[in-house]
Amino acid sequence: MEIAYTWIAMLLSTALVSLLARIVSIPYPILLVAAGLVIGVAPGFRAPPLNPELILFFFLPVLVYKEAFETSWRDFHRWLRPIVVLAVGLVLATIVAVAVAVKWILPELSWPVAFVLGAIVSPTDTVAANTVLHRLHVPRRLSAILGGESLLNDATGLVALQLALGVVVSGALDWFDVGRTFLWTVVGGVAIGLLVGIIVNQANRRIRDTTVLFTLSLIAPSAAFVLAHLAHASGVLAVLVVGFWVSWRFHAVEARTRYDLYAVWRLLAYIVDALCFLFIGIEIPRIVASVTSEMLPHYLYAGGVVTLAVIAVRIAWMFPATYLPLKFVAALREREGGLPKRTSVFLASWCGMRGAISLAAALAVQKVLGATQSGAWDAVIICTFCVIIGTLIIQGLTLQPLIRWMGVSGDEQSREEERLARISMMQAALTRLDELKAETRVDPSAIDHVEATYMERLRLLISEPPPVKRCHDLTDKSDSLFAVEYETLQMERTRLLTLRDGADINDLTHLRLQEELDVIEMRALAHTKLQSKQ
């Protein structure tokens, strides 16, 4: 019964935090950690020990898969250099900085264990940052780079952790073996992701049952991660490739099914996200109780130093890694849109919160360190929790006020891109209407009505920069009118896909406009079915 009480409390906390987050200006991950801490210390609640495999083999694939679907791969490709610099270079720099810091404070730890800790806390968790960045509409360049970093640095950190644990177990470091392992980790992860992605795309093209497709979409990321894990490749890269491959061809799915899948996946990802941060709070009392009272203050002090090192190394890395290549290589400047503003660079350096991945990794190494070096594991787990809580509080609570204080401008680039895409889609629809006028099977009055609607919306879009929301009145329309609207809708879809494939718009703009077309089509079909029944 204790487990049932705990799950009820966790789900209720998720609902209450969702309501509270709308009122207070605090990122919901911080509120969830606090709620988890309350659950962890509440009398009568005895939560089962958190199994790190739950996060690594289910929670992580779900979150990565959802983020891959909502990532603009055009922007990812454009800003690949800064993304790799952060996801690989900064991760390695963080590992070294943390190892030096913890070895200085806790000299009794071996260097391999110090590097294990560095690998654990090296990946960022941008959920807390994204809740603020998305709400305030920061420039696309900043959000694209931070999103790409969060997608790749989990893989880098977990691979580094695997190598560091190998040194702990064997006591030796073979650089040839390290290079071979890293190469296979990348190549194997990408290959497995492609294989699973091809299979899922074939299923999406042939299956029309929403329930079956949702079940398959739930299996796909976990299956890719598990297969990559069994092959000693990168599970995160495998899930990324699956997400990219499936999202790129997801327009082949029917509109109703596609809309339902997006809606369910967003809810699922939110619940999984919330559970991850709740688990962090719940685990705090248990971890503190497992450490001897004599060593706890010493480990907490070390954790504070490591937290400051993690924050400092990110700030120190960000500015030279951003500006030096752009100042000396003109081609990079042109490709990446010139030199970014200093405010944007500083905000990127401040978005370094850690989360559930570090927690799962720290719990997972207990099998290696806990059996032979329980003191080392105590130090690692306490320092990890200090970094997670410290970065969430120090950076998470100050990010939104910092953005407002710096006056960072919104994403005007995306808004203008969306406006131009709408204009192009409407022009394509008007071209199709001209073709329909030559066909005798179509009611001319229906064509005139639809054409007038498009012309009015087009006039508003051309004269007013902000995008116009679509408000189609679908009541009391003839079958002929619906037929004309359906024809123009399909023409808009074709033009939208052409714009995406031609890199005129990014994937996020395509996703927003595609969902809008899906809603219009579903309303039209529902009205048609209602008319046929009457």
For the residues 1-23, what does the mean pLDDT come to? 81
Lookup result for tokens 């992701």: 193
Average pLDDT estimate for 225-230: 93
State the average pLDDT for the chain. Answer: 84
Token readout for 165 is 């644990």
Residue pair 242/201 in contact (Cβ under 8 Å)? The answer is: no
pLDDT per position as a tens digit, 449-487: 888 888 888 888 887 544 444 444 434 456 677 778 888
State the pLDDT confidence band at 411, using cuts at 50, 70 and 90.
low
pLDDT digits (tens, 9 = 90+) for 92-139: 999 999 999 999 999 988 888 899 999 999 998 866 666 666 666 678
Helices vs. strands in the chain: H and E counts, helices first? 25, 0
Residue 525 has pLDDT above 80, yes or no: no
Burial class (CB in 10 A: 0-12, 13-18, 19+), 271: middle
250, 258 contact by CB (below 8 A): yes
Q: Residue 470: what pLDDT?
A: 46
- Rounded to whole angstroms, the Cα distance separating 134 from 65 reads 19
Cα–Cα distances (Å) from 172 to 110, 118, 178, 380, in that order, read 13, 18, 11, 21
Highest-pLDDT range among 7-16, 129-138, 185-194: 185-194
Q: Report how far apart, in Å, the C-alpha atoms of 349 and of each of 89, 146, 284, 385, 480 are.
A: 14, 10, 27, 21, 57
Q: Look up tokens 């960072």; give the residue.
A: 408
> Exposed, middle or buried, 199 (CB in 10 Å: 0-12/13-18/19+)?
middle
pLDDT at position 373: 63
How many other β-carbons are positioned within 10 Å of the β-carbon of residue 500?
23
Phi, psi for 112 (deg, rounded to 5): -60, -40
Cα 146 to chain centroid distance, Å, stands at 10
Per-residue pLDDT at 313 exceeds 60: yes
Query: And the tokens for 514?
Result: 């595609």
Distances, alpha carbon 186 to alpha carbons 189, 230, 475, in Å:
5, 14, 54
Give the confidence band of 72 by pLDDT, cuts at 50, 70, 90: confident
Give me the domains of the chain, ranges plus CATH numbers: 2-410 (1.20.1530.20), 413-533 (no CATH)
Any idea which residue has 């000396």 for tokens? 328
Q: Above pLDDT 90, what percent of the chain?
A: 28
**Angle in degrees, CA 514, 134, 31, rounded to 5:** 125
- Whole-number pLDDT of residue 279: 87
Q: What is the mean pLDDT of residues 157-171?
A: 79
State the pTM of this model.
Answer: 0.84
Average pLDDT value for residue range 420-437: 89
